[in-house]
Amino acid sequence: MQTELLPVSRPAIDRAGQLIRQGALVAFPTETVYGLGANALDADAVRRIFEAKGRPGDNPLIAHISAVEQLASLIDCEPSLAARALMDACWPGPMTLIFPRSRAVPDAVTAGLDTVAVRLPAHPAARALIDAAQRPIAAPSANRSGRPSPTTARHVLEDMDGRIPLILDGGPCEVGLESTVIDVTGGVPRVLRPGGVTPERIAAICGGVQVDDAVMRPLKEGERPRSPGMKYRHYAPAGALTIVKGEERAVASAICRLYDEALGQGKRPLILALNTHLPAYGARRALSLGSDAGEMAHEIFARLRDADALGADALFSEAVGTEGVGLAVMNRLGRAAAFHIVEVK
Ligand code: AMP
Ligand code: MG
C-alpha cells in the first residue's frame, strides 16, 4: 500500500473523512500526539488499527468525538456530576473519560470491557476530520506498538509507511504526551494515566482526585491494571534507559560516572538532560529535554526516537519533580526505563 502524506487542508480532510467512512485508517494530528483513526462503530475497521500497530487485542482504544452531543451514542448512562464538571472545564482538550459503554460500541474498541474511553480533542484538524467522517473515530497513538508515540507526521511515516493510505500533516503536537485518562464511573475521579490535565487541576474542578498507584511503579506478576495499556512496556527506546534522581549536582556526577563506565564497556551511551544542565556533562554525548517539565513533555518522545536513530544502547536521563505535568513526564519516562530509577544524594 502507498502511504500518502498530505498537509492539513479542506480537500485533504474531506478525503480523510471519506476514507474513514469506507473503513480505512487515517493518521491525524491532535494536541496530544498523532492518532491512528478508524470508524469507531465499524468493528472490521477498528481491527485494522490493531493489525497496523501490532497492538495486543486486550488494549482498548479511545473514541474521539467533535461535540458533547455525540457522547450519548457511546455511553449508557448520564455522566456523573464530576464527569460533567470535567467536561465543562477540560473539553475540548487532552482529557479522556471512562464511562459505562453503550451496546453500539464494538467489542474491538473496548477490548471487551464494559466501559468505553471518550475524548473530545481540541486540535481543529482532528475535530474537522471527525465532522467530515460523520462518526466517532477510534484512535490510539499512531506508532507501532512499543515504539515512542509520534509527535510529528514524520514519526508516523517512520512507523506506518506502507501500512495505511493517508497521514494528515498538521505539524508538531502541542502537548506531546497522550491524554490524561480519568475513570469517572465511581465517586471520586481516578487518574489511570497522567497527562496534560494534571491531578491538581482535576482536584480544583471536582474537589477531589485519586491517582491510581500503578502510575508510578512497575506492575506485579499477573496484576490486572485498571487501564490495560499500563501492562505493556510502552514508549521504549531500543537502548536500556536508566533514570537518575536527586540533588542537581549529585545527579550530574552520577550520570557522568555511569556514562564513562558504559563507554569503558564499549557501549554507545547517551545522556538526556535539562537544557540548563548540559554544560555539566562536558564533551559527553547529550540531548536536551528542554528547560522545564512542560517542555520535557513536548520533547521526550522525539528524543527517545533520536536516541534510537543515534544507535545509543545505554541511556541516562535526568528526572523532574512529579508536580503538575511532571507526573505524566515521569510516568512515561519511568515506563520507558521499566522503572529502573537510581536515587542519589
Ligand atoms: P493510546 O491509544 O496509546 O493513547 O492508549 C489508550 C489508553 O486508554 C490505553 O492506555 C488504554 O489502556 C486506555 N483505555 C482505553 N479504554 C479504556 C477503558 N475502557 N478503561 C480503562 N482504560 C482504557
Ligand atoms: Mg499509545
* d(CA 140, ligand 2 centre) in Å: 6
Is residue 158's pLDDT more than 70? Answer: yes
Residue 170, SS3 per DSSP: coil
Query: Best mutation site among 32, 55, 58, 59 for ligand 1, i.e. most ligand atoms within 8 A of its Cβ?
Result: 59
pLDDT band at 25 (very low <50, low <70, confident <90, very high): very high
Please report, for the domain that includes residue 255, its CATH number.
3.40.50.11030
Looking at the fold, whether 184 and 316 belong to one and the same domain comes out as no
Per-residue model confidence as pLDDT tens digits over 112-134: 999 999 999 999 999 999 999 99
Same domain? For 157 and 35 the reply is yes
Residue 195 lies in a domain: yes
> In Å, how far are 60, 66, 90, 155, 275 from 95, measured between CA atoms?
16, 13, 7, 23, 29
Among all ligands shown, which has an atom nearest to the Cα of 178? 1
Given the C-alpha cell 522545564, which residue does it identify? 292
Q: How does pLDDT run across 50-72, given as a tens digit for each residue?
A: 999 999 989 999 999 999 999 99
Are residues 59 and 232 in contact, defined by beta-carbon separation less than 8 angstroms?
yes
Mutate to test the pocket of ligand 1, among 118, 193, 231, 331 (most ligand atoms within 8 A of CB): 193
Q: Tell me which residue has its CA closest to atom 21 in ligand 1.
A: 227
Q: How remote is the CA of residue 98 from the centroid of ligand 1, in Å?
A: 9
Q: Is residue 59 part of a domain?
A: yes
**Of 216, 249, 264, which residue sits at a domain end?**
216
The answer on 327 and 246 residing in a single domain is: yes
Distance 82 CA to ligand 1 centre (A): 20
Residue 159 has pLDDT above 70, yes or no: yes
Same domain, 61 and 150: yes
Span 76-110, pLDDT tens digits: 989 999 999 999 999 999 999 999 999 999 999 99
Q: Are residues 162 and 276 in the same domain?
A: no
Query: Considering the chain, what percentage of its residues have pLDDT values greater than 70?
Result: 99
234 assigned to some structural domain: no
* Over residues 150-177, mean pLDDT: 97
Domain span at residue 199 reads 4-216
Instruction: With respect to residue 260, please indicate whether it lies within any of the assigned structural domains.
Output: yes
In angstroms, what CA-CA distances link 156 with 29, 33, 300?
Answer: 10, 10, 16
List pLDDT tens digits, range 182-235. Answer: 999 998 999 999 999 999 999 999 999 999 998 988 888 778 778 877 666 667
Alpha carbon of 134 to ligand 2 centroid (Å): 24
Q: Are residues 197 and 286 in the same domain?
A: no
How high is the pLDDT of residue 216? 86
Looking at residue 265, what is its pLDDT? 98
> Do residue 175 and residue 261 come from a single domain?
no
80 is a domain residue = yes
Is 221 within a domain?
Answer: no
Ligand 1 nearest atom to the CA of residue 179, by list position: 4
Per-residue pLDDT tens digits for 231-267? 666 677 889 999 999 999 999 999 999 999 999 999 9
Around ligand 1, the residues with Cβ closer than 6 Å are 59-62, 98, 110, 113, 115-117, 140-141, 178, 181, 192-193, 226-229
Own/partner pairs, 201-207, CB within 8 angstroms, 24+ separation: 201/89, 201/90, 202/86, 205/85, 205/86, 205/89, 205/90, 206/82, 206/85, 206/86
Question: Going by DSSP bridges, is the β-strand pair 210-211/190-193 parallel, antiparallel, or unpaired?
Answer: parallel
> Could you tell me the sign of the dihedral formed by the alpha carbons of 62, 66, 68, 72, in that order?
negative
User: Domain count of the chain?
Assistant: 2
- Residue range 138-155, pLDDT digits in tens: 999 999 998 899 999 999
Residue 146 falls within a domain, yes or no?
yes
Q: How many other CB atoms are there within 10 angstroms of residue 26's CB atom?
A: 28
Same domain, 169 and 257: no
Distance 114 CA to ligand 1 centre (A): 13
- Tell the residue nearest (CA) to atom 22 of ligand 1: 227
- Please report the atom of ligand 1 found closest to the CA of residue 61: 15
Residue nearest to atom 10 of ligand 1 (CA): 229
Let me know whether 246 and 208 are in one domain.
no
Residue 187 Cα distances to 79, 83, 84, 207, angstroms: 12, 10, 13, 11
Are residue 19 and residue 108 in the same domain, yes or no? yes
